[in-house]
Chain A
Amino acid sequence: MTIDLEALIRAAREHRDISGFLQAIPYFRFLGLSVREDADGTPLCVLPADPKLIGNARLPALHGGVVGALLESAAIVQLIWSAETDVIPKIIDLQVDYLRSARPVETFARAIITKHGRRIANVRAEAWQEDPARPVAAAHAHFLLG
């Protein structure tokens, strides 16, 4: 089985539709991650409410690792959307600040590329639930491009 990810990445950028790429990545299917284009033309990542993503059954709350994964995924999606590279950006490091308990509901995330160098990209991402002004977590990460 050969997957032409580079073709899927190029198609995502050309057609402003990243769903083919998301479907090719098993972990994105596992999370149920989808991407929609916001009014301003930027990609918005959507993580559905799913009991298997819960990290604290008592509260209940989303697993912190899942929130981290969503933020990392938002950064990858943003890089694919706007970067020139046709390969999956490789994560170098990630710092996540957990700001509020994330309830097991639909969760959104968006990323901004703060610096796009030739080899390294510096990306910030935020995740929220009902209100974008009340983020549940924020992250910054470095990626190796190409």
Chain B
Amino acid sequence: MSEQPDISAPQIDPEGVDPKVVEAMIVAGIPHCAALGVKVISVSRKAVTLALPYNPDLVGDPVHGVLHGGVVTSLVDTVCGMAVFTALAKLQAIATLDLRIDYLKPAVAQKELYATAECYKLTRSIAFVRARAYHPEAPDDLVASCVAAFMIGSSDKPPLPKGTKVPGGVA
């Protein structure tokens, strides 16, 4: 990991895909992420980083103050999907085929959780992604590690609501 996200302020890679598209996808296209309060930290063709702010509603172990694994799964599944979108040449519907997560250490509920994903192989039908989740102050001390496979073109319906602006046109 040579590029670490700057934890002082969200940064956007100017060479990458318009982060507004990813933000629009999350806000307009993924109600569950809006409910979780997921934020976009950085978006490029190589990697996507999202953040999950502290929310006491997401605690799975109130005695030890640990996030529920299901929350980590939701954040990681989302960031993997976004990494596929940014790797695709044109916006198409995708669907998770499988997702394998190793929970390396408990996610401290009171700390913000980041997840970064990269789509490391893209075929005509399938995208292969890996992701990691971590607290931003310790990006190498992983909370979770994940590999996932996505189907490309899983539906005729585009992934954004009609009329949403994307680079080069309108969905």
Interface residues of A (CB under 8 A from B): 3, 5, 24-31, 51-59, 63-66, 68-70, 72-73, 88, 90-98, 101
Contact = CB atoms under 8 A, between A and B. Distances in A.
Q: Is chain B's interface secondary structure helix, strand, loop, or mixed overall?
A: mixed
Interface of B: 28-35, 56-63, 67-71, 73-78, 81, 93, 95-103, 106, 154-155, 157-161
Contact of B95 (A24, A26, A98): A98
A27 B30 contact: no
Contacts, number: 145
B53 to A, nearest CB: 14
Nearest to A94: B101
B157 A26 contact: no
B29 A65 contact: no
B50 to A, nearest CB: 12
A69 B75 CA distance: 11
B98 A97 contact: yes
Contacts of A88: 60-61, 63
A57 B57 contact: no
Contacts of A55: 30-33, 77-78
